[in-house]
Structure 1
Amino acid sequence: MTGSIGANIRRLREQRGWSQARLARETCRAAGVQGEPIGRQEISRYETGKRTPREWLSFIAAALGVPVDVLRTPLGPAEPPPPALADYLPEGDPLAPLGGCEGRRVGVGAVGDLQQRVHGLRLADDVIAGGDLLRPALRELRSAVRLFRESSHTEAIGRSLLRAIGELAQIAGWIASDAGQHAEAERIYRLGLSAAHTAGDTTLAGNLLGCLAYQRTNTGDVREGLIMARAALENADGAPPRARALYLDRVAWAHAKAGEPQPAMRALGEAGEALTGHGEEEEPGYLYWVDAGELQVMESRVYTELRRPLRAVPLLRDVLSRYDATHTREFALYLSWLAVALADANEPEEAAATAERVITLSADVASERTAARVKVVLARLEEFRDVAEVRAVLEGAA
């Protein structure tokens, strides 16, 4: 019965286009209480069946504008529970210490050194494409796993090493994906997921599963990508605001790729709402790049994917006017969405000029993602082949 109540709460909330935070506020208002004695996390637990509303059930029903019995009544066969992070762990235990191994004792110094190498690799990824960075990334990951398995350490140091391995797997997986090595990237992400899960770091696990979801979405398995993105979101209780914003961005993208505009826009709205909660809370360093500008990037991409150029073009131009052009790969990617949006807006000459810049920038970048986007742009321009500027671009590319 608890599962049915949770499914009904979620269904009615989504029908109204409310976020979980909005439902929490409306429930408190219906109860006539000051402040927010229940919040988004509590609503999430109700919806996933982890907790029963009990005394709050009548107030949730009032907030949703339905009788309590509506929430208690099963609508049909019970839905299977949403996937959990653990459902995506690799088989076996790839991080198990080697049996009978009495390796050298490591402490905080080894953890600090590993964290510095992770950060260095992350900074390198800002300016070096996956094809050029994959070998050193894999070398660092193998070295980190060997350090954990072959050394002796305290439990606390072990958890710190596992978190560092998880972060290293996230960036190494991203690099492998950018290089077009998608099977290798998935294996790396799942290894990192195992490390984060073993360390008890749900925020890092959610980030890794979200990265895997993003790859699945972009490589054609959109429905599975959406399931994974939602699992990352639903199973990350207590994640800091910027992490939740990142998870929601990936949900929005998956909905957009699935051609589902309303859920995509709701997720974007919830991402913006989550980011407003960012303050001085403690959070992992790898969230440094999640800000209002990055949410604007995703918003513009979603609008482009949904063929809404009147919204996409101004956003993309604004983003590009402020973007660091030394980050060549990302600059080329964002220009590629602008080229498509301009074509959708029936501006073939501008689309051609933008496409020319994409092709020029991509020529010197060893990134499968930029190469794939060039193909998308050229395919979109085919409709305007009779326009001289477009024909010149298409023939030049050929």
Structure 2
Amino acid sequence: MADSNDSGERIGELIAGRRKYLGLSEEDVACKLADASGYTPSRTDVWRWETEYEGRTPGPQYLPHLAEVLELDESRLRRARAATKAARRFKVSAPVSSAEVIARLLPADTELSPLGTTTGRTVGAADAEALLRRVHGIRLADDVLAGGDLVEAVIRELRSAIRLHNDTCHSEAVGRRLLSGVGELAQLAGWVATDSGGRADPVPLFRLGVAAAKQAEDGPLAAHLLGSWGYWEANRGNLQRGLDLVRAAGPEISGGHVRVRSLTAARLAWVSTLARDHRTALTAIDTAMDQVDAADEKSPASADPRRWLYWVNRDEQEVMQARVYTQLHRPLRAVPLLRKVLAAYDASHAREYALYASWLAVALADANEPEEAAKSADRMFEVLAGLPSSRAQDRSKAVTTALRRFREVPEVVEVLERWGV
């Protein structure tokens, strides 16, 4: 039996390809499937599955028998069906390359091609601002692409930005803006690297970003970098290192910058949760919520002149609050927050949707609601199919562990068997 599965493989292409490879007609597949399953699919049903006409895919009851007829592993069929349904849910009608996504999100006055040869030329404030707009366009791509899709492109952009700063003539003020662009790209590259399954080491990227931000005298950006770095270190088990980095972020924030303070406080809450310092965690998350509310009262995050803060709003901070409550085994506080956020969440942000659904599944399991946990887990596994995100894949392991406590519950058994976990 065939055993491979391309990332994002769609069910229609898979069925049609195998049928033709085996020399079968659509009628042949329908007849063989009827004999194997006891159901009565028609040639038209097979055609609809292959063309995904009006979103049609074979129902779960057909998959074991269809796998037998097409000489495929059932798990491959299930992954392809899930990838197709997720693509339709997240409004992706056909595979789109990471370069195409980035190109769509870059500002109109910028090209996707490298920043070009810069040696000796003079650059001014307009060039620095163009770089920062370019960085934001690439940053928006991280909302809809996983780390495995984006990491090489971001590192390539970072190298170009470094050349733009090092190999041109510019004023001191322009130099600081260019360095902020380098720092922002380094933060994004480090963050994406943490989601790339080891394809790039985040540490030198974060370290470079901190150095660039400090040289640019951009304290809020330095805090963002230190917080991102510390958050990642704590998540991989280096708790003291994570705490030290996140705590070092605080002194970098001078003056107002309330939204930056909220982001830093939320990261301190999470790292303290992992370190089992419950008091600090709860105090910090309450502080983060108060600060983001104060910031939102003045203006929305999308209007902040620091474009990298566009996502730091109450909804996102409530997700962190819910994660803290889940980790502290307070599901009655976590579940309403997660359900509220997921109900209105942007469906194009597949990775974040899967991550938040994973936290909801764990919180529901902790609340002794295995049937509801299974529903949330099923949505998570469906969205994860074909998604090259190491963060999301790691969360799927936590969900599986939580569900296995309820192996006697039919809904849980069905989900675990469906996804082969």
Normalised by the size of structure 1, how large is the TM-score?
0.72
Q: Within 5 Å, which residues of 2 pair with 1:248-287?
A: 248-278=265-295, 279=298, 283-287=305-309
In the aligned structure 1, how far is the partner of 2:267 from the partner of 2:194?
16
Q: Secondary structure at the match of 2:194?
A: helix
In 1, are the aligned partners of 2:158 and 2:182 still within 8 Å (CA)? yes
Describe the SS at the equivalent of 2:408.
Answer: coil
Higher relative CO (Cα under 8 Å, sequence separation at least 6) belongs to 2
Q: Which aligned runs of 4 or more in structure 1 are off by greater than 4 angstroms?
A: 280-283
Give a deviation string over 1:139-190, Cα, whole Å, max 9, x none. Answer: 1001001111111211111111001111111112111111133862121111
* Higher deviation after alignment, 321-330 or 233-242: 233-242
Q: In structure 2, do the counterparts of structure 1 residues 112 and 237 end up closer, same or farther at CA, with 3 Å as the change threshold?
A: closer
Matched residue type, 2:131: L
- Alignment counterpart, residue 164 of structure 1, candidates 181, 184, 193: 181
The 8 Å contact of residues 108 and 157 in structure 1, kept in 2 or not, is answered as yes
Displacement of 1:102 after TM fit? 6.8
Query: Aligned runs of 1:164-183 on 2, under 5 Å?
Result: 164-181=181-198
Matching residue of 1:327: 349
Trace 1:92-241 onto structure 2 (pairs within 5 A). Answer: 103-181=120-198, 184-241=201-258
Q: Name the residue aligned to 1:344.
A: 366
Provide the rounded CA distance (Å) in 1 between the counterparts of 2:200 and 2:412: 36
Name the count of aligned residue pairs. 298
Q: Which residue is equivalent to 1:16? A: none
Name the amino acid aligned to 1:164.
G
Query: What amino acid is aligned across from residue 340 of structure 1 in structure 2?
Result: V
| 8 A contact 1:193–1:209 mirrored in 2 | yes
Structure 2: 5+ residue stretches without partners: 1-117
Residue 374 of structure 1, aligned match among 393, 396, 403: 396
User: Which AA in structure 2 matches 1:198?
Assistant: Q
Shift of 1:219: 1.0
- Alpha carbons of 1:329 and 1:176: their partners in 2 closer, same or farther (altered >3 Å)? same
1:222-251 Cα deviation digits (max 9, x unpaired): 222122111111332225000000000000
Query: Would the aligned equivalents of 2:129 and 2:177 in 1 still touch at CA under 8 Å?
Result: no
What are the superposed Cα offsets for residues 320-346 of structure 1, whole Å, 9 maximum, x if unpaired?
Answer: 111112111000000000000011011
**Separation (CA, whole Å) in 1 of partners of 2:119 and 2:160:** 17
Deviations 1:186-240 (A, max 9, x none): 2111111110000111111000000001101111112221221111113322250
2:33 counterpart residue number: none
Inter-partner Cα distance in structure 1 for 2:294 and 2:357: 31
Point out the more displaced range, 213-222 or 202-211: 213-222
**1:247 aligns to 2:269 (yes or no):** no
Shift of 1:273: 2.5
Distance 2:191 2:349 in 1: 16
Structure 1, 383-392 or 246-255: larger mean CA deviation: 383-392
Deviation, 1:393, is 2.0
Q: For residue 354 of structure 1, what is the aligned residue in structure 2?
A: 376
Percent sequence identity is: 49
Q: TM-score, normalised by structure 2?
A: 0.68
Query: Partners of 1:262 and 1:382 in 2: how far apart?
Result: 30
